[in-house]
Amino acid sequence: MSDLTFDLIKEDGWARLGTLLTAHGAIDTPAFMPVGTAATVKAMTPEAVRDTGAQIILANTYHLMLRPTAERIHRFGGLHEFMNWPGPILTDSGGYQVMSLSELRKIEEDGVTFRSHLDGSQHKLTPERAIQIQHLLDADITMVLDECTPFPATEEEADSSMRLSMRWAQRCREAFRKRPGYGLFGIVQGGVYGELRAESAKMLTDIGFDGYAVGGLAVGEGRDLMLKTLDVTVPHLPKDRPRYLMGVGKPEDLVGAVRRGIDMFDCVLPTRSGRTDQAFTRRGTLNMRNARHKDDPRPMDPQCTCYACANYSRGYIHHLVMAKEILAAMLLTWHNLHYYQELMSAMRDAIAEGALDAFTALFAAEQASGDLDPI
Amino acid sequence: MSDLTFDLIKEDGWARLGTLLTAHGAIDTPAFMPVGTAATVKAMTPEAVRDTGAQIILANTYHLMLRPTAERIHRFGGLHEFMNWPGPILTDSGGYQVMSLSELRKIEEDGVTFRSHLDGSQHKLTPERAIQIQHLLDADITMVLDECTPFPATEEEADSSMRLSMRWAQRCREAFRKRPGYGLFGIVQGGVYGELRAESAKMLTDIGFDGYAVGGLAVGEGRDLMLKTLDVTVPHLPKDRPRYLMGVGKPEDLVGAVRRGIDMFDCVLPTRSGRTDQAFTRRGTLNMRNARHKDDPRPMDPQCTCYACANYSRGYIHHLVMAKEILAAMLLTWHNLHYYQELMSAMRDAIAEGALDAFTALFAAEQASGDLDPI
């Protein structure tokens, strides 16, 4: 019996409509989780994040364990209290950022030793410590510590890496303290090798988790190989538990993965793009630095109901971008997160109506149509 | 008959309680105007600015004439529409920034020629052009073009500079197009020389303006000399018109100037300080980088009702500052603007009750008391 209630409401092909109930509230799935790396979704207040439709956010264990530290956040009453986000929070295990950001890292059976990218101080992350940190943070959804297998990797490398992750997953399961509304997700590894993915999924299912993530993707393998890997992985995951594709992705990736049975996503793309002048719209991505927006009184996306599109013209946002104003990042991030949430909401509606194929065709056609004609 | 209605409600010594009615709404005076240099109050949405209690903002003609240009803002329907601020707006004339920011500036009788600090392009600002630009921006309150006399200046330099400003003021008055709810303010110059200030005030009053600003202060002369200059200037200004002290200042400067009969202020201090980790409080200024805030669960100012103090601890804001998060600038700016507005509101209440002396004593005692004891 899981401590996270997952109701599967409807299926449409492999896609699923569901509700995940956590200690801090419900999440409609398929769901997109904005990334709040350092206990803040960059350039947004939590109220603004909520206004975009987000029901759950992700925070990064690696960053928080180094600054301000998990123990300090615990003393402040946990991450929800610390950052003023009363809703559900998922934390990653820290493993991914240890590999991508830290220095002098060394992986051993026991765990990973590394030096902080902030001050060079030495730290060790074991499966038990990763779980303890996430308890201290008060994460509704805790992720097991895994080794994110790099791409490319030989089958032998992927095999060996996956088996280490599975041994760590077992240790995480044992270290996790069960509480109502809190849950632990396992992470499938195995690179792009179908048999390894299937074996990893089987090993995790045998251990038993509250949800199952697909890790080690969106690391350079490309969209086709990512979706193919989902095709050979998802069928081996239990139907009655949520499935989470880590670190993905572009709007078209979300659509492709939902169609393959994924229920949850996180990605820095909408927030990071908001700080690099990019706006996602139904008709593709806009570069707001482009001079063609200079005299355009229209919103970025005329169909969008977000705060930025309801109140500001392309011309104004272009001006803010050129003047390097903080409000540019605020408005673009708000818009991008709203776009992502609207996309998820539209997919949920389509699944409810058994119309995801039609939605997918419309989505692709709109994306391909290109930006509005100049006025 | 002025096109800006100013009701003088109450006096307490030299201090005055009033209401200024503009085309875009009423302003309770004494009032503080947040600075929205490039058509945005940095790191704030207009709704957040309004939430702090601000009723009017200031925008900078110099910046806007260069980018995105006054003509472009006019095509967008004016500054209120462009930047989504429906309330009153005061614009400066551009003269101050021409002197402080631009290159190769040359002042002649006709006006000032300069090169843009952005791209080196050459521009000319005459009294007539300054008024035209502010019309295009749709400023509720337009400021005359003046030469901000530098400090120090000899009496001869201050005299000559003041007389040029007075000739320009006359030309601005003639160029200004009267409209209900819109007004033109003259600017008293004369350096720190009382007789020049008195003469300048007399010359402006003879021309006749909707309000009178005191310019050329807060340019290095120091607090004492600034207040002394007010002492010898304000008595020469008409009682029935609002008085505006440009570019001032620190909280104690606002109190000192209100006591000397000033009704309006603008300053970048609360917003700029919000981006350099400083928080204004009843008990003085806090540096939020200071490690003593690291474990402090209390708000920056326990008596403050602003969004930041209502929802976030000193420890969290310290964390955001250390992590260089945009939200740090957003929360600190919000708090600082709220503090300034609360200070103005408290002074208005005190004037209404004839209790400004008692307020001033309490203000000084609280400011001198120092920050809260550590917990």
Alpha carbon of residue B255 to chain centroid: 14
What pLDDT score was predicted for residue B21? Answer: 98
> Do B319 and A42 count as a contact with CB atoms less than 8 A apart?
no
pLDDT band at A103 (very low <50, low <70, confident <90, very high): confident
Structure tokens belonging to residue A327: 């409000």
Sequence letter at residue B36: G
Minimum Cα–Cα distance from A296: chain B residue:
B76
Q: Is the dihedral of CA A269, A275, A281, A283 positive or negative?
A: negative
- CA pair distance A133, A287, nearest whole angstrom: 39
Q: Which of B45, B67, B82 sits opposite A323 (nearest CB)?
A: B67
Identify from B73, B84, B119 which residue to disrupt to test chain A contact, counting A C-beta atoms within 10 A and taking the largest count: B84
Interface A-B: count of C-beta contacts within 8 A? 92
Spatial neighbors of B95 by CB under 8 A, at least 6 apart, are: B62, B112, B125, B130, B145, B146, B147, B148
User: Pairing relation of β-strands A284-287 and A278-281?
Assistant: antiparallel
pLDDT, chain A, mean = 97
What pLDDT score was predicted for residue A121? Answer: 94
What b-and-e string marks burial along B313-324, b requiring 16 or more CB atoms within 10 Å of the CB? bbbbbbbbbbbe
Decide if B326 touches A, using CB distance below 8 A: yes
What pLDDT score was predicted for residue A166? Answer: 98
Mean pLDDT of A236-246: 98
DSSP A103-168: EEEEE-SS-EEEE-TTT--EEEE-HHHHHHHHHHHT-SEEE-------SS--HHHHHHHHHHHHHH
Other CB atoms within 10 Å distance of the CB of residue B202 = 13
* Largest Cα span, chain B: 62
Residue B3 annotated as catalytic: no
Secondary-structure percent of chain B, ordered helix, strand, coil, rounded to 5: 45, 20, 40
Q: Which of B72, B295, B312 sits opposite A84 (nearest CB)?
A: B312
- CA pair distance B256, B230, nearest whole angstrom: 10
Q: Judge whether residue A2 has pLDDT over 90.
A: no
What pLDDT score was predicted for residue A195? Answer: 98
Decide if A83 touches B, using CB distance below 8 A: yes
Mean pLDDT of A241-249: 98
Catalytic residues of A: 92, 266
Sequence letter at residue B266: D
What pLDDT score was predicted for residue A187? Answer: 98
Helix (H) or strand (E) holding B359: helix B356-368
* Whether residue B249 has a cis bond before it, omega within 30° of 0: yes
User: Phi first, then psi: what are they for A367, rounded to 5°?
Assistant: -60, -35
For residue A47, CA distances in Å to A54, A302, B271, B307, B315 come to 10, 23, 21, 11, 20
Decide if B265 touches A, using CB distance below 8 A: no
> CA B94, B100, B105: angle at the middle one, nearest 5?
80
Identify from B79, B289, B298, B326 which residue to disrupt to test chain A contact, counting A C-beta atoms within 10 A and taking the largest count: B326
Minimum Cα–Cα distance from B291: chain A residue:
A68
Contact A297, A63 (CB under 8 A): no
Decide if B291 touches A, using CB distance below 8 A: no
Decide if A326 touches B, using CB distance below 8 A: yes
ipTM score over 0.90, yes or no: yes
pLDDT band at A207 (very low <50, low <70, confident <90, very high): very high
SS3 call for A75? helix
What pLDDT score was predicted for residue B375? Answer: 84
pLDDT band at A3 (very low <50, low <70, confident <90, very high): confident
Decide if A67 touches B, using CB distance below 8 A: yes
Least Cα separation, residue A133 to chain B (angstroms) = 18
pLDDT digits (tens, 9 = 90+) for B121-158: 999 999 999 999 999 999 999 999 999 999 999 999 99
What pLDDT score was predicted for residue B5? Answer: 96
What pLDDT score was predicted for residue B253? Answer: 98
pLDDT per residue, tens digit, chain B (375 aa), is: 568 999 999 999 999 999 999 999 999 999 999 999 999 999 999 999 999 999 999 999 999 999 999 999 999 999 999 999 999 999 999 989 998 888 889 999 999 999 999 999 999 999 999 999 999 999 999 999 999 999 999 999 999 999 999 999 999 999 999 999 999 999 999 999 999 999 999 999 999 999 999 999 999 999 999 999 999 999 999 999 999 999 999 999 999 999 999 999 999 999 999 999 999 999 999 999 999 999 999 999 999 999 999 999 999 999 999 999 999 999 999 999 999 999 999 999 999 999 999 999 999 999 999 999 998
DSSP A224-255: HHHHHHHHHHGGGS-TTS-EEETT---HHHHH
Alpha carbon of residue B98 to chain centroid: 17
Identify from A50, A67, A326 which residue to disrupt to test chain B contact, counting B C-beta atoms within 10 A and taking the largest count: A326
Alpha carbon of residue B200 to chain centroid: 21
> Do B84 and A325 count as a contact with CB atoms less than 8 A apart?
no
Percent of chain A with pLDDT over 70: 99
